[in-house]
Every structure is written in C-alpha cells, then in structure tokens.
C-alpha cells in the first residue's frame, strides 16, 4: 500500500473514533441531564407507599393517582399491588389507589381527590333507563389524605386496600305455588358510585340492579349480587327488593319488601362484608304473592376493613 492509501485509511479510522466519541459524549450528557432533572431535590421529592393487603385475593397491578395541592388533575403512576416508590414534583399530595381492571365500571378520577370515584355502568345507553346499572366486580382501592413530598428522604406510608364491592346472596323458597316458569327481580336504592380513597358509597343519585335467580332445588332459587352499597334508610330513599313470579299458565305476580335495615346493619360494620337473605314467597289473596324475610346473616368475604 502506498503512502496515500495509508493516509486515507488512517484518516477514516480517525473519523470513526471521533464519531464514536461524539456518540458516547451525547449519550453521557443525556444521562446526566436526565439524572440531574430527576434528582433536583429543590423541585422534586421521593415518595414510598406500601400496600398492606388483608385478603387472600388481590390484583397484580395498581394505578396510583397523586393529587397535588390545588390541582384536580392527578399525576398517574403505575405500579404493583405491593406498593410504589418513585419521584414526584415537590409538594403536598393526596393519593387514590385502585386496580385498573375492575369489571362493569368506569373510573372518574379527573375532578380531584374528593371526587375520585368508580361508577357502575348503565345496562342501557338510553337515558330513560340509566337507573338500572350493571353489577360492579373485582374493584379494590384505598387512599391517603396527605403526603408531604420533598427531598431525597421520604417516610414510608402504609395503606390498607379493601374490596370495594359488596355481595348479597338471596335464597328464595317457594311455598304453596306450583307451576313456576320464571322468577326475576330487582333491588332499588342501590348506590351506583363509590369514593375510591375511603370506600364510601355515594348517593348523589340512586340506581337499581336486576337479577334472575337460578333454581337449585325443587322449590328453592338462589342468586348472588355485587354492588357498592344500599341507601341507609330513615326518611329518605330505602333499599327495596322486588320479585316477579311468572307461572306456566301465563299468570304473573309482583311483590316487594324493604331490606334496608338488614343489609345496612351488616355493611356499616365492615366494608367487605357480604350478607345472606333467606326469603319465602307464598300465595296472597290480595296481591297474588307475598315476600317474607325469614332470616339473614352476615360474614366476611376474605377482606377485613379499611384503616
């Protein structure tokens, strides 16, 4: 190889080295800029949340909604059900936490911490029937009313998620009625919304949930309902159960009974309770049928209470 050829090779080699050096320098500067922005502790702070589950079942992923003081729109962080650790702009925050895969619900989280809620979906898009909602399922949540985020050092905040969906079982026994073709019904006075940070059912409006029990024995029917809560009774709205009985000859009968006191005695003691109602349906000379609530009991379905 002549001198000119050697010079060209050396020149190209030098250019390659320079280009590699420039790329490395740019990458290094980018990393430094990223780190310096994230670690600007005059403007940012670390936050650490631990979720203490008191349930056998729990979701795998959670969304953490951080509401900075004075803002109604949250900063979203995605994490696991074990907790979250990361960096936020310095300030005072409130946080709402829930899983993203609840069924038959919509999350309404862009109106501030106090209005962070899950809403049961209507069973129809028609405005005339929005009072009938689908049964919410698989929703867990918790929250914290004050988090001070500042600097590189942070204290650990422990939160206690709970299942936000309550369960009601209906055991219905038919007495003195033959030729039953179908039983269906609905419950009025149901909350269609729940405040995720506190787990409190909201009653800005009320709704109803439909159901169709299945025959599990000759004269016994049963069903299970999922919902956020019932009206508390008193002089306002009350929870009322309606049953429709259709016989094979085409005759149909409807009756109702108030269940407010029974369900609220159980649900007010624990967020996660379920209640079993034992009902009897028998002939009635005036209304065709009558409903009698013969017994009820409560239990804990895997989750304890909010703390």
Instruction: Answer yes or no: are the C-beta atoms of 59 and 101 closer than 8 Å.
Output: yes
Query: Of 213 and 154, which is predicted with more confidence?
Result: 213
Query: Of 150-164, 193-207, 228-242, 249-263, which range is least confident?
Result: 228-242
The answer, yes or no, to whether residue 223 has pLDDT greater than 80, is: yes
With cut-offs at 50, 70 and 90, classify the pLDDT of residue 301.
low
Q: Confidence band (pLDDT; 50, 70, 90) for 6? A: very low
- 44-163 has which fold? Immunoglobulin-like (2.60.40)
User: Token pair for residue 210?
Assistant: 């439909």
pLDDT at 299: 59
Q: In this predicted structure, what is the pLDDT of residue 222?
A: 96
In order of 112, 132, 135, 286, the CA distances from 123 in angstroms are 27, 6, 9, 33
- CATH 2.60.40.3690 holds for 166-300: yes
Rounded to an integer, the average pLDDT of 100-122 is: 97
Domain ranges of the chain: 44-163, 166-300
Plot region of 133 (φ>0 → left; ψ -120 to 50 → alpha; else → beta): beta
Between 286 and 198, residue with greater pLDDT: 198
pLDDT tens, 247-285? Answer: 999 999 999 999 888 777 766 655 446 888 899 999 998
Identical topology for domains 44-163 and 166-300: yes
* HSE value, Cβ hemisphere, 13 Å, CA-based, for 272: 22
């Amino acid at each position: 190889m002549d001198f000119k050829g050697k010079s060209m090779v050396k020149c190209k080699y030098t250019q390659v080295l320079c280009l590699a050096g420039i790329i490395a320098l740019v990458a290094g500067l980018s990393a430094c800029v990223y780190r310096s922005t994230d670690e600007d502790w005059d403007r940012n702070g670390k936050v650490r949340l631990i979720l203490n589950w008191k349930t056998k079942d729990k979701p795998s992923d959670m969304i953490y909604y951080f509401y900075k003081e004075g803002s109604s729109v949250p900063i979203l962080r995605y994490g696991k059900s074990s907790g979250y650790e990361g960096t936020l702009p310095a300030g005072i925050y409130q946080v709402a936490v829930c899983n993203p895969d609840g069924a038959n619900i919509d999350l309404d989280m862009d109106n501030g911490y106090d209005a962070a809620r899950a809403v049961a979906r209507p069973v129809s898009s028609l405005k005339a029937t929005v009072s009938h909602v689908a049964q919410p399922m698989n929703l867990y949540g918790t929250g914290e009313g004050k988090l001070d985020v500042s600097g590189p050092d942070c204290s650990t905040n422990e939160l206690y998620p709970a299942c936000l969906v309550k369960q009601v079982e209906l055991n219905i026994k038919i007495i003195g009625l033959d030729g039953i073709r179908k039983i269906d019904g609905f419950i009025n006075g149901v909350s269609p919304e729940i405040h995720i940070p506190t787990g409190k059912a909201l009653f800005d409006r009320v709704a109803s949930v439909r159901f169709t029990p299945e025959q599990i024995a000759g004269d016994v029917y049963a069903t299970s309902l999922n919902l956020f809560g019932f009206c508390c009774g008193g002089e306002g709205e009350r929870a009322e159960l309606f049953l429709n009985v259709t016989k094979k000859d085409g005759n149909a009968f409807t009756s109702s009974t108030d269940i407010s006191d029974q369900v609220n005695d159980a649900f007010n003691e624990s967020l996660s309770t379920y209640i079993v109602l034992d009902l009897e349906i028998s002939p009635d000379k005036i209304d065709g049928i009558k409903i009698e609530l013969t017994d009820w009991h409560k239990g804990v379905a895997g989750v304890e209470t909010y703390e």
